[in-house]
């Protein structure tokens, strides 16, 4: 094989690997973005639930105090 032929073959393999790496990275970036969005959505939902629970506990505590005073 001539040196030029080897060089062309080597470069073609390098280009193919680079394209493959890029596609994998693109997929992983999209996946990470989706996972972070899900995580943030669940965090907000958790905060809302905790706030609602605290409000309900306050209401219940007030009702119990009123009942005990009666």
**Whole-angstrom distance, CA of residue 62 vs CA of residue 18:** 66
Q: Residue 62 has what pLDDT? A: 78
First to last CA, the chain: 101
Ordered by start, the domain boundaries in the chain are 1-70
Q: Residue 70 has what pLDDT? A: 63
From first to last of its 70 residues, the chain has per-residue pLDDT tens of 799 999 999 999 999 999 999 999 999 999 999 999 999 999 999 999 999 999 999 888 877 767 766 6
The DSSP code for 40 is H
**Whole-angstrom distance, CA of residue 42 vs CA of residue 46:** 6
**Whole-angstrom distance, CA of residue 57 vs CA of residue 64:** 10
**Whole-angstrom distance, CA of residue 64 vs CA of residue 55:** 14
pTM equals 0.62
Q: Residue 27 has what pLDDT? A: 97
């Amino acid at each position: 094989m001539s040196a030029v032929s080897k060089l062309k073959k080597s470069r073609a393999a390098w280009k193919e690997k680079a394209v493959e790496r890029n596609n994998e990275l693109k997929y992983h970036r999209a996946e990470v973005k989706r996972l972070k969005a899900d995580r943030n959505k669940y965090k907000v939902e958790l905060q809302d639930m905790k706030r609602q629970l605290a409000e309900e506990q306050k209401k219940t505590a007030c009702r119990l105090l009123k009942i005990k005073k009666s």
